[in-house]
A and B are shown apart, each in its own frame.
Chain A
């Protein structure tokens, strides 16, 4: 039994060493990892349940995930819903497999195999992180652009058949002087992020000049598609309530729909990505320990098992994020 504990502390069997009784029959380290995982699982459930809350709150106007996440590397302009996230899911599941193989090799005290499998796991983690960065960059830069209304809703544009049209296709920016508020002019000064050259007036003008264009609102129809207004309604809606142009996404607004959608995307996938990042870092540390023969000397690869638990947990969370963010 004792052969599997991490290190001898000299307190074995003493009360302050935990005594001989082990009701859960697991070593201290593994138990703590399980407790951490349980609490972290509750944190993620909190996020996903909050996402569900907001989605139920805006059940008839939430963005359709297939329309937002439809990019695939090297397939520019091709509508490829889900393929990319599915690929990311496979990368993570496969890195979980190599991790569990590393743990298995550790049980058999095969150092070289542990090294190989851990290296593959780290590679998988890094590829996943890169994929997520690509996903974020697509989400942030956006594709079609949209107009924000006075009430904070989003108006998107489409042709008469309902195919999306991007703002650049019909609106041209008017060159003009823009005096920026400067630091020296006021007590209260906020630096501006970026300068969007396309103004709301340009969009309105471009829209009026193209009789083929329609406005797509956030409202979902019975068929689960976005509502397409007719030409008259479109003109009225855009001219009455359009106040600004949105390109891509940030924390306060996004071109896909409800501002909360962007917030949740950044927060949930970001928090998960942060877990992957820390997982990769811990894996690298343990990887070097394995290389140095630390666990060989210790006579047990339990540390690999513990980092494995964490890594599988990260995979587990992704399975849920995948379902609730991209599928449901």
Chain B
């Protein structure tokens, strides 16, 4: 089990913790710096109706999530079956939820914009 593997290598486990902390910190700093300066190029370029900047934020967030779950929550030491139970359930349901709500949201926005009723009076 998880403990049996980490017991022999205390220093290794500690090293991993600090390594992950540094990675998380760097990613957060990158996010904050990008969020403050908002480079023109990244804001103006769209990819699948989301700006490049927002894609970067989302991808960095997912990388951070990966490190938190894998290293801090010891997912990397769990059985593959447990990993799949937790991760795939989340991934599938969350993708479904997001897709359906965001599509519906932009449809309503379209109705607001193009129908013959004014919402601002």
Contact = CB atoms under 8 A, between A and B. Distances in A.
Given A56-B102, A56-B109, A315 B120 contact: no
Nearest to B64: A319
A90 interface: yes
Given A26-B79, A49-B102, A151-B121, A319 B94 contact: no
B78 A45 contact: no
Interface size class of A (residues with CB under 8 A): 35 or more
A293 interface: no
Contacts of B10: 104, 108
Contacts of B74: 103, 305
B92 to A, nearest CB: 11
Secondary structure of the B contact surface, majority rule: helix
A37 B60 CA distance: 22
Contacts of B54: 327-328
Given A90-B28, A319-B65, A328 B58 contact: yes
Contact of B86 (A34, A46, A99): A34
Interface in A226-272: 241
Secondary structure of the A contact surface, majority rule: helix
A149 interface: yes
A42 B90 contact: yes
Interface in B17-74: 17-18, 21, 24-25, 28-29, 31-32, 35-36, 43, 54, 57-58, 60-61, 64-65, 68-69, 71-74
A96 B17 CA distance: 10
Interface stretch (A7-15, A81-89, A178-186): A81-89
A60 to B, nearest CB: 8
10 contacts: A25-B81, A34-B82, A38-B85, A52-B102, A57-B112, A58-B109, A81-B36, A104-B14, A312-B73, A315-B72
Interface of B: 1-3, 6-7, 10, 13-14, 17-18, 21, 24-25, 28-29, 31-32, 35-36, 43, 54, 57-58, 60-61, 64-65, 68-69, 71-74, 78-79, 81-82, 85-86, 89-90, 93-94, 97-98, 101-102, 104-106, 108-109, 112-113, 119-121
